[in-house]
Structure 1
Amino acid sequence: MQAGTNPSESVSDGRDGAHPVVVVTGALAPYTHVLYERLAERLAQEFGRALHVLSCTPRESARQWVMPPPRLYRHAVLPGLRWHRSSVRNLYLNPAVVPRLVSLDPAALVLNDFSPTMLLAAGAARLRRIPLVIRTDGVPETDPGRHSAPHRLLRRAIVAAASCGIGPSEGSRDLLARYGLSSQKFFLSPLFPAWTPPAPPPPDAGRSYDLLFCGMLNEEVKGARFFTEVVLGALARGRRLSVRVAGDGPLRAEMEARFAENGIPARFDGFLTQEALPEVYASARLFLFPSRGDVWGIVVQEALQSGTPVLASPHSGAARGLLAAHGCGEVRPMEVEEWVAASLRLLDDPGRRRELRAAAERTLPHFTREAAVVGYLDALRPFLRGA
């Protein structure tokens, strides 16, 4: 664990106007920054209230995002302790959240998922009678509370203090209901990409790669080794596919070596900035998402908005709530031979790829920043009138 930094000087004490809305989150991400900018704008316009975001850490250790400074919301990083247990598991303890909430005196508090810091914030909210909203990307399939009593107790305690919940999928509704939140008190706020393509997607003739993988290069969550096996399985069938891999992680050296040994033309970009992503997604004919347990998977939407069809496992919120629910991608069990066959079939069938692109164009307008903000406002509105 390591100690934190002091809160940003840009955060006021909350006494310069109406009681603000406060969000406590683990760390800012590109899409949450975009969300909070628009939410702050709407809160100011409709309720005359500021938005304060308190982060538990400046940045998660596995993330290399460079975040722009907030323009419309106020941000502070809480001092405290952080334990980055793996590329996807982080533990935060920031006792400073309590005096910060006392100082801000919010009209409503939104807790973004679960941690000891969130439990402290929930306790402070209950003592000070601050309306509490719990937001989670989580779904029952990836819930650590299934196997861990401490995780279950933490979730039950936080949800018990909440007046309502927010999440991006019906799976999130089910997760919060499992810990005691009424389904009628859940508000849908979809996830969305932090960027939009600068130009219409190029035709397949302008795409240099057959397959694209984008994400952390690990197996336990992202299925990077599974992706490698699919590529080598296609080679065993006589198809030497060209491959692009965007991202970094513990399996990068292994993947590079296996592709090189087998003569697979593969480009490894490493970590890329948000500005570089449109070109990456538009460079391949097919995006593979062999997730073993993503709560959602914004990379799926990034591929779809770039005109790149998606083949995904069923183990993510995006696969269930977007691809399967709207027929805008193909979802297959995690079996290498089935993925090899499905990949080759999609690559050889331009008509099917056109169908998937058309379905994505019809679906993506329901997964936008504006739709996400509406979910927050619907949850918060009862607490902001006259507060």
Structure 2
Amino acid sequence: MKIAFVTNIIAPYTHAVFEAVCKSPEDRLQVLCCSDNEPSRAWNVPPPSNYSVVILEGMRLHRSYTQHIYLNPGVWSALSAFDPDVVFINAFSPTMVIAAAWARIHRRPYCVTTDGWKLTDPGEWSRIHRLFRRLLVPRAAFGLGAGELSLELLESYGLPRSRLLKLPIVSSVPRPTSYSSVTERPFDLLWCGNIDDERKGVYFFCRVVEKLKLLQGTLRVRVAGNGELREWLQDRLADLGVEFQFDGYLQAQDLASFYNSGRLFLFPSRGDPWGLVVNEAMSAGTPTIASSKSASGLELSKRSGGVICLDLDEDKWVEAAYRLLQNSDHWKSLSAANIQLAEQFTVEEPAANLLRAAQEATRAAAR
């Protein structure tokens, strides 16, 4: 069976899943990318071993560092050249509409995948985005979502539960060879991600830091990432008398030690489709406070006591953080819960579900 997967770009975590999909020599996977990279993405993705890649020519409308609209007419000829048995589309841009149209005309099934949910889905407020989703989703053979909230979104656009599967996002950050204890971790708080306020909530983060500093007297903060507010954050932490370390953008192999160096990871997202950094922190046994506007915060907090999900209320975050930083037994309990849950997130599940969707879609189309 030949599987085509059309996506914006390849990320380290999707690369790991793609590598694990084709276990049989009779199966082939080709990933068709709208671009080789995107602004503010600096991932070092290894070359593929078990799948092939085609970088499509085309146009990109850059709306923000996380929002891009692609038009790659060449996806039609690329699909014709590969002639897949099933097509996966991993977004709802014009390129994906062309790919779905190719599948329909050539009588091949297509499946849709998403990590979105109602809070972050543009279809909730944009007519054109809603039109594309209503055009693509109900006609899909299967829908695959990062979690329960993603499945609910696909269901709202017309896919029944019987044609939905989970495609969990799995961290590509290697787990540490040993987990540092609370006393071995030199930093109190960690920040990882783009340094902005519109989406990541850096101003909220700083207000929490300020209040914790008043309670504790001393505070050490480590920051990984870049963004428009990096200099502001450095100046603000210095003004507060907080000890800090800025690492800039770190690759996956360096993030393991980063998360293993902090007692608490804060993720005050103002709206994330998933929020993979919560998985990354969890893999290092690092307790996490995540915003209720991140899908990972909402879903993982139901499965692990080591992920605390709160609304963006400063006092609640300060209370939860202070208790954790002051109570080593409480910290150990949350850390152990995260380690236990992280062990359940492996590439085998999303790879198996992707292959299952491909197999069942092609079987149904052959009837």
- TM-score (norm: length of structure 2): 0.96
Structure 1 range deviating more: 372-381 or 322-331: 322-331
Q: Per-residue deviation at 1:27?
A: 0.3
Equivalent in the alignment of 1:27: 9
The secondary structure found in structure 1 opposite 2:301 is helix
Out of 306, 312, 336, which is 1:358 matched to? 336
Decide whether the 8 Å contact of 1:225 with 1:251 is kept in 2. Answer: no
Partner residue of 1:235 out of 202, 210, 213: 213
Instruction: Give matches, 1:181-196, under 5 Å.
Output: 181-196=159-174
2:217 and 2:290 mapped to 1: Cα distance? 20
Give the drift of 1:197.
1.9
Match of residue 38, structure 1, among 20, 41, 49: 20
Secondary structure, counterpart of 1:134 in structure 2:
strand
- The range that moved more, 230-239 or 201-210, is 230-239
1:162-201 to structure 2, matched below 5 A, reads 162-201=140-179
- CA–CA separation in structure 1 for the residues paired with 2:217 and 2:164: 48
Q: C-alpha separation between the residues in 1 aligned to 2:173 and 2:235? A: 33
Match of 1:141, SS? coil
Structure 1 residue 303: deviation in Å? 0.8
For 1:141, the equivalent position in structure 2 comes to: 119
If the length of structure 1 is used for normalisation, what is the TM-score?
0.91
Q: 1:264 & 1:213 partners in 2: Cα distance? A: 14
Residues in 1 aligned to 2:263 and 2:213: alpha-carbon distance in whole angstroms: 17
C-alpha displacement of 1:307: 1.5
1:322 counterpart residue number: 300
Partner deviation per Cα, 1:303-343 (whole Å, 9 max, x = no partner):
11111111111111111211234433111110112211211
Aligned residue for 2:98, secondary structure, equals helix
Conserved? CA contact 1:191–1:368, under 8 Å: no
| Counterpart contact for 2:142–2:361, Cα < 8 Å | no
* 1:140 to partner: Cα distance: 1.1
The 8 Å contact of residues 328 and 363 in structure 1, kept in 2 or not, is answered as no
Q: Contact (CA 8 Å) 2:193, 2:226: kept in 1 or not?
A: yes
Q: Match for residue 249 of structure 1?
A: 227
Q: Cα distance, 1:168 vs. partner?
A: 1.5
2:194 aligned to 199, 208, 216, which one? 216
Work out the CA distance in 1 between the residues paired with 2:71 and 2:213: 48
Q: In the TM superposition, what whole-angstrom CA distance separates every residue of 1:247-298 from its partner, at most 9, and x where no partner exists?
A: 0001101101111122111111111122211111111011111111111111
Q: 1 CA distance for matches of 2:94 and 2:7? A: 12
- Structure 1: gaps spanning 5 or more residues: 1-18
**Aligned equivalent of 1:5:** none
Opposite residue 378 of structure 1, the aligned amino acid is R
Aligned to 1:60: 38
Listed one character per residue, the Cα deviations across residues 51-96 of structure 1 (whole Å, up to 9, x for unaligned) are 0000001101110112211111000110000122211111100000
Match of 1:290 among 268, 275, 283: 268
Task: Name the CA distance, whole Å, in 1 between partners of 2:44 and 2:52.
Answer: 17
Residues 182 and 332 in structure 2, CA contact (< 8 A), matched pair in contact too: no
Identity of aligned residues (%): 39
Q: CA deviation at 1:103?
A: 1.6
The superposition leaves residues 141-169 of structure 1 with CA deviations (integer Å, 9 ceiling, x where unpaired) of 11111111011001111113311101121
Distance 2:200 2:302 in 1: 19
> Which residue number in structure 1 is paired with residue 282 of structure 2?
304
> What is the SS of the residue equivalent to 2:119?
helix
Q: Distance in 2 between matches of 1:348 and 1:135?
A: 42
Cα shift at 1:352: 1.4
**Is the CA contact (8 Å cut-off) linking 1:24 and 1:53 kept in structure 2?**
yes
Kindly provide the amino acid, as one letter, of the partner of residue 73 in structure 2: P
Q: Secondary structure at the match of 1:67?
A: coil
Distance 1:366 1:264 in 2: 36
Deviation at 1:211, TM superposition (A): 0.2
- 1:366 Cα deviation (Å)? 2.8
Pick from 343, 348, 370 the counterpart of residue 348 of structure 2. 370
Q: Is the 8 A contact 2:170 2:345 kept in 1?
A: yes
SS at match of 2:296: helix
For residues 242-281 of structure 1, the aligned pairs below 5 Å read 242-281=220-259
1:238 Cα deviation from its structure 2 partner: 5.0
Measure how far apart 1:384 and its partner are: 4.7
Task: Number of aligned residue pairs: give it.
Answer: 365
CA distance in 2 between partners of 1:69 and 1:304 (Å): 27
Q: Determine if contact 1:248/1:271 at 8 Å carries over to the other structure.
A: yes
1:225 to 203, 207, 214: 203
Bigger Cα displacement from structure 2, 215-224 vs 355-364: 355-364
Give the 3-state SS of the residue equivalent to 1:120 in structure 2: helix
1:110 is aligned to: 88
Root-mean-square deviation (Å): 1.5
Q: Which amino acid aligns with 1:368?
A: T
The residue that corresponds to 1:87 in the other structure is 65
1:6-42 Cα shifts (integer Å, max 9, x gaps): xxxxxxxxxxxxx5100000001000111101113x2
Q: Is the 8 A contact 2:145 2:168 kept in 1?
A: yes
The residue that corresponds to 1:202 in the other structure is 180
CA contact (8 A) 2:7 2:89 kept: yes
Q: SS state of the match for residue 324, structure 1?
A: coil
Query: Are the counterparts in 1 of residues 113 and 145 from structure 2 also a CA contact under 8 Å?
Result: yes
Q: Distance in 1 between matches of 2:304 and 2:238?
A: 38
Change (3 A) 1:206 1:328: closer
Structure 1 equivalent of residue 50 of structure 2 = 72
Question: Given that residues 136 and 166 in structure 1 are in contact (C-alpha distance below 8 angstroms), is that contact kept between their aligned partners in structure 2?
Answer: yes
Give the match's secondary structure for 1:258: helix
